[in-house]
Amino acid sequence: MQNKLKIINDPVHGFIRIPHEILFDVIEHPYFQRLRRIGQTGLLNLIFPGATHTRFHHALGAMHLMFTALETLRQKGVKITEEEEKGAMLAILMHDIGHGPFSHALENMLMDDWHHEKLSLLLMNKLNEEFEGQLSVAIEMFQGKYHRKFFNQLISSQLDVDRLDYLNRDSFFTGVSEGNINTQRIISMMNVCSEGELVIDAKGVYSIENFLTARMFMYWQVYYHKTSALAEFLLVKILERAKYLISEGMDLPAGDNLKYFLNRGKSSATDEDIYRFTQLDDNDIIHAMKSWQDSEDFILSYWCKCVIQRNLPKTVISTHPFKRQFIEEKIKNTNEFFGINNGKELVHEIKRKLLPYDTKKQPIYLLQKNGKKIRLEESQDQLLSGLMVHKTARYILTFPRDISHIIS
């Protein structure tokens, strides 16, 4: 009989235990193994060459942190059954199972308005049928329907084990140390209050503030880095363009599964959609972009060369929207330089905005020694939380590098 209680060596957390056989069975399933071929950070490796880690790594790391968090809560007197432990670990293990190629960038391009969480739930239900109902508790927790709220908060909130893993993991692989947080310290401060909600022991206030600032720095320095935002934007535009050209009757080379989605109109998901989706990964998109470099369509060819050859367009960043006249001049210069009349397709303003700490959406509560809970931003000890409740925005203008020398 196969030993399913394995130990995995992870570069971020060290040794990760798989304490339940059903976890191993889910990890072995083709739906989950596909995550080995789905990057965690899209095209970030164009900017940070080390960022080649996958959703597979991240899901295992988040599962490990869930196990650690549940052990901590048990030590503080919170009753957690084995079924609940299995459920919570399964839910976080599968939380990203519905991610498509290049994740967020292409989410709505392949399946119109299908968010990855919707797809994750759909695939979880399919797996639950295969495993004869063993994932039912996990699905309840994932959806926030389980009667003990803290389980869902550990899976999805402003301070969940998903974020604790990806911040440390992305910081490790990009080499950007500002994202490095002390996950063990934060988890050791977790508690459950009398209402059954996840709280943080009040003495952990600075660890939480450090977590929030680390996340903010990672967004502006890594995820929303101007070149990173551009690369993600280009991926969307490439597939949009390919979909448009195919609808106009052009034949574009692509793998069968990608071609299926490029030809697909707007409709609710069918069983074939789901099957095809689970066959897709980053390699399908990269392969297509490699061949589309030679497309007779100038726009598609140009963008694909930008990504594949890493000859990216020029970007200018600002805290305010760019003046219309400035954008029009870039379009005019593009048309003249390339001898085309649709230069507006190559000049775009990209907006990125961030609210570091949302006080309305699942605020973080601190548990005081007297047993009362207070909101993080109301704590007399907080130093930074009050400053992180405002949205910040950046505007990025992108245009062909070939015209950057032209003075308008």
Provide the pLDDT for residue 385. 64
What span, in angstroms and rounded, lies between the C-alpha atoms of 211 and 364? 12
Provide the pLDDT for residue 1. 66
What span, in angstroms and rounded, lies between the C-alpha atoms of 223 and 279? 27
For the stretch 39-55, pLDDT in tens is 999 999 999 999 999 99
* Residue 407 clears pLDDT 70, i.e. is over it: no
Dihedral over Cα of 177, 183, 189, 192: its sign: positive
For the stretch 271-308, pLDDT in tens is 888 899 999 999 999 999 999 999 999 999 999 999 99
* Residue 404 clears pLDDT 80, i.e. is over it: no
Provide the pLDDT for residue 269. 75
Which band of pLDDT confidence, cut at 50, 70 and 90, is reported for residue 339? very high
Which residue type is seen at 226? K
* Residue 107 clears pLDDT 80, i.e. is over it: no
* Residue 384 clears pLDDT 80, i.e. is over it: no
For the stretch 53-106, pLDDT in tens is 999 999 999 999 999 999 999 999 999 999 999 999 999 999 999 998 987 667
What span, in angstroms and rounded, lies between the C-alpha atoms of 184 and 391? 29
Q: What mean pLDDT comes out for the span 235-258?
A: 94
What span, in angstroms and rounded, lies between the C-alpha atoms of 151 and 192? 10
Provide the pLDDT for residue 377. 84
Tokens of 8: 């995995």
Helix (H) or strand (E) holding 374: strand 373-375
Q: What mean pLDDT comes out for the span 6-29?
A: 96
Q: What mean pLDDT comes out for the span 161-182?
A: 96
* pTM (predicted TM-score): 0.94
Mean pLDDT over all residues of the chain?
Answer: 92
User: When comparing pLDDT for 2 and 363, which is higher?
Assistant: 363
Provide the pLDDT for residue 256. 95
CA angle 389, 394, 399 (to 5 degrees): 165
Q: What mean pLDDT comes out for the span 184-193?
A: 96
Per cent of the chain over pLDDT 70 is: 95
What span, in angstroms and rounded, lies between the C-alpha atoms of 128 and 132? 6
245 to 252, 292, 298, 299, 377: CA distances (angstroms): 8, 12, 12, 11, 51
